[in-house]
């Protein structure tokens, strides 16, 4: 077996393992030179509470990569289960402004970063660093503002499909 064969086996096994990692679905948005960008993503995570920050992982072939690589601020819109259509629109064939045709969108501050007004949460970030790894760039966002919705009903992506999470039954503690 060659090193190349081994890498392909590892790549395939990794993809299968990641299908089992349920992740909340977000739509990452930004604005650059008057144009809005949006992309559905599950590669989002908290980074630090001090300073409040998160990270997003973006494939360098995606359309949102270019404005982010220029240092623009961004928003992570954490979707609710009933917003799966927004996730589909922002991950499919629609491009550019067409991705904003579904959902209730507004703009934040002077730079006009788009955010989803009825998301579970919209986390508006100032870009605070990045680094490249493989096919992706990891962008760090220092949180500037957060809008949190009333309900918790996450849209989840697992095994190649959208789903939602349900609370487990409460188990009584044993004395």
Which pLDDT does position 46 carry in this prediction? Answer: 96
User: Does residue 68 lie in a domain region?
Assistant: yes
The set of residues, in sequence order, having a beta carbon less than 8 Å from that of 1 and lying 6+ positions away, is none
User: Does residue 6 lie in a domain region?
Assistant: no
Which pLDDT does position 18 carry in this prediction? Answer: 85
DSSP string, 51-77: TEEEEEEEETTSTTHHHHHTT--EEEE
Q: What is the 3-state secondary structure (H, E, C) of 76-124?
A: EEECEHHHHHHHHHCCCCCCHHHHHCCCCEEEECCCCEEEECCCCEEEE
Which residue range forms the structural domain that includes residue 115? 24-153
Which pLDDT does position 174 carry in this prediction? Answer: 59
Higher pLDDT, 27 or 9: 27
User: Does residue 164 lie in a domain region?
Assistant: no
pLDDT of 175 strictly over 70: no
Total domain count for the chain?
1
Per-residue pLDDT tens digits for 90-137: 998 899 999 999 999 999 877 899 999 999 999 999 999 999 999 999
User: Does residue 53 lie in a domain region?
Assistant: yes
Strand partners, 137: 58, 132
Higher pLDDT, 7 or 67: 67
Per-residue pLDDT tens digits for 42-75: 999 999 999 999 999 999 999 999 999 999 999 9
User: Does residue 111 lie in a domain region?
Assistant: yes
Which pLDDT does position 149 carry in this prediction? Answer: 92
Which pLDDT does position 172 carry in this prediction? Answer: 64
User: Does residue 167 lie in a domain region?
Assistant: no
User: Does residue 11 lie in a domain region?
Assistant: no
Q: Could you tell me the CATH number of the domain that includes residue 47?
A: 2.30.110.10
User: Does residue 86 lie in a domain region?
Assistant: yes
């Amino acid at each position: 077996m060659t090193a190349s064969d081994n890498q392909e086996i590892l790549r395939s096994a990794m993809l299968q393992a990641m299908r089992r990692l349920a992740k909340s679905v977000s739509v990452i948005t930004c604005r650059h030179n008057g144009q809005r960008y949006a992309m559905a993503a599950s590669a989002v995570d908290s980074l630090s509470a001090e300073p409040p920050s998160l990270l997003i992982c973006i494939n360098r072939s995606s359309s949102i990569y270019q404005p982010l690589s220029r240092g623009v601020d961004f928003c992570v819109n954490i979707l609710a289960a009933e917003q799966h259509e927004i996730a589909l629109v922002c991950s499919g064939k629609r491009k550019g402004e067409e991705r904003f045709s579904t959902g209730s969108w507004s703009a934040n501050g002077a730079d006009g970063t788009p955010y989803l007004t009825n998301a579970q949460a919209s986390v508006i970030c100032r870009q605070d660093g990045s680094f490249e790894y493989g096919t992706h760039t990891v962008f760090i966002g220092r949180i500037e503002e957060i809008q949190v919705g009333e309900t918790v009903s996450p849209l989840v992506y697992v095994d190649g499909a959208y789903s939602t999470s349900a609370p487990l039954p409460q188990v009584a503690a044993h004395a």
